[in-house]
């Protein structure tokens, strides 16, 4: 029976990074540090009171009642500071069900796909969208 021999300097198979598994406190601590801001600054920019944000960071307040709009505003605030945070990440960290894509996310996805298409396919897609709109308007009458 032959077995693979390990040679010094040889790299093993690439592995995916393990999931972060951050709870909301760990996630907030990380993004505050990455953004180079204070809890008070994040609270103000996200439209949440400082004592509330601080209690999430200290794990003295539960996260099950956090408004989805507040979670989204935290994402917006840290992304504006150059820190990459997704809606999915913050909802998962807070133990909340992850909502479907927002209108803005769907539009960005569609625009990204559109830009990758050759010009003739872009025209086809515009014609299809116009026809779908006409059908939608006709069926609502």
pLDDT at 2 over 60: no
**pTM for the whole thing?**
0.58
How far is residue 8 CA from its own chain's centroid? 40
Question: For the chain, what is the domain count?
Answer: 2
pLDDT in tens, 78-134: 999 999 999 889 999 998 888 776 677 778 778 888 899 999 999 999 999 899 988
Three-class SS of residue 100? coil
pLDDT in tens, 20-59: 578 999 999 999 999 999 999 999 999 999 999 999 999 9
Same structural domain for residues 127 and 77? no
pLDDT in tens, 3-13: 444 444 444 43
Residue 85 CA: distances (Å) to CA of 34, 73, 79, 97, 118? 11, 11, 6, 17, 31
Structural domain boundaries, residue 76:
24-93
Same structural domain for residues 51 and 80? yes
Q: Is residue 13 part of a domain?
A: no
Same structural domain for residues 113 and 64? no
The C-alpha angle with vertex 23 and arms to 20 and 27, in degrees rounded to 5, equals 75
């Amino acid at each position: 029976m032959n077995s693979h021999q390990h040679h010094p300097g040889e790299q093993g198979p690439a592995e995916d990074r393990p999931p972060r598994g951050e709870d909301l406190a760990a996630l907030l601590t990380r993004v505050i540090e990455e953004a180079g801001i204070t809890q008070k600054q994040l609270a103000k920019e996200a439209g949440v009171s400082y004592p509330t944000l601080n209690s999430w960071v200290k794990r003295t307040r539960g996260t099950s009642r956090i408004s989805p709009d507040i979670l989204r505003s935290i994402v917006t605030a840290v992304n504006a500071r150059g820190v990459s945070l997704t809606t999915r990440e913050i909802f998962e960290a807070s133990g909340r069900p992850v909502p479907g894509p927002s209108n803005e996310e769907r539009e960005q996805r569609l625009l990204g796909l559109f830009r990758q298409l050759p010009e003739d396919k872009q025209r086809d897609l515009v014609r299809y969208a116009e026809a779908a709109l006409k059908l939608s308007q006709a069926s609502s009458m």
